[in-house]
């Protein structure tokens, strides 16, 4: 049985924004994402370390990034550990280049989505991957 459940952020209309981000990834990047998610899903929290995972600093403090590279592109899926044991909620997908997130408002948007997901449980659901 998996150690972790992943939840995905939903738009106000109920669209899974993480699933949309994943679907927009190139095929090889999508496969790499699923490899990393599968590995993390079965690991205790203390084994969530680089290169696959890293906690973030302000202005992204309180968030962590699931990290994977493909074809020279550094992809990042941002999320947070819920108060429930064994739950990680994904709120935003981005690219990192030169130590900076693209788009530049990644941290701000991810923090807003975290607040919404915490305040309104219906703004996330168990991911279907």
**Residues above pLDDT 70, as percent of the chain:** 100
Residue that has been written with the tokens 């990834």 in this structure: 25
Q: Reduced to 3 states, what is the DSSP secondary structure of residue 66?
A: strand
pLDDT over 90 (residue 25): yes
pLDDT at 113: 98
pLDDT over 90 (residue 8): yes
pLDDT at 83: 86
pLDDT over 80 (residue 60): yes
Provide the mean pLDDT of the chain.
Answer: 97
CA distance 22 to 77: 9
CA distance 22 to 127: 11
pLDDT at 94: 98
pTM recorded for the entire structure: 0.96
pLDDT over 90 (residue 1): no
Domains (range + CATH), the chain: 5-119 (3.30.2310.20)
- State how far Cα 59 lies from the chain centre: 16
pLDDT (tens digit per residue) in 66-111 = 999 999 999 999 999 988 899 999 999 999 999 999 999 999 999 9
pLDDT over 90 (residue 2): no
């Amino acid at each position: 049985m998996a150690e972790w459940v992943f939840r995905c952020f939903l738009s106000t209309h109920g669209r899974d924004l993480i699933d949309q981000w994943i679907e927009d990834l190139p095929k090889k990047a999508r496969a790499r994402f699923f490899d990393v998610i599968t590995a993390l899903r079965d690991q205790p929290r203390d084994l969530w370390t680089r290169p696959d995972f890293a906690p973030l600093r302000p202005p992204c403090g309180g968030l962590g990034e699931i990290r994977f590279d493909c074809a020279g592109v550094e992809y990042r899926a941002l999320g947070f550990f819920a108060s429930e044991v064994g739950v990680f909620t994904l709120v935003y997908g981005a690219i990192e280049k030169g130590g900076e997130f693209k788009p530049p408002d990644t941290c701000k948007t991810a923090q807003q989505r975290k607040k919404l997901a915490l305040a309104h449980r219906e703004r996330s659901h168990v991911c279907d991957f």
